[in-house]
Amino acid sequence: MRITPPVNDYRPPTPRDLQVLKEQFGLTAYEMARLFAVQPEQWRKHTGGQAPREISVTRAFFMAAFQVLDDEEIERVVAYMASFGASWNMDAEPPPRADSRYRQRNEAS
């Protein structure tokens, strides 16, 4: 068993870093929120305003893991989560949002 190392020296991405990543991926703000597993309203707090909220090391690690690990490895992690009682249906779609600014792009765009 590995113990999570302490987070003593973490520098979160800046709002500019996040904007560059968004442009590299070609994603909408809604999709970036899903990528980092935050609500769209929260994503805006990470990318703007006078005192932007920092992306936590756990959110950054979570996003990076999904980019680096293949589907089989992700399934192994989810199965391990289930072994200690955590259940996650990754196929469940989020409920539709009433605010059109956060709607996903359709396949044509």
Cβ atoms < 10 Å from Cβ of 38: 19
Q: What is the pLDDT of residues 33-73, one digit of tens each?
A: 999 999 888 898 999 888 999 999 999 999 999 999 999 99
pLDDT at 20 over 70: yes
Rounded to 5 degrees, φ, ψ at 75 are -60, -35
- Tokens (6 digits) for 79: 């199965």
How much is the average pLDDT of 12-25? 95
pLDDT at 14 over 50: yes
Whether residue 55 contacts residue 12, with contact meaning beta carbons closer than 8 Å, is answered with yes
For the chain, the domains span 15-89
Give the per-residue SS3 of 43-96: HHHHHCCCCCCCCCHHHHHHHHHHHHCCHHHHHHHHHHHHHCCCCCCCCCCCCC
pTM of the prediction? 0.76
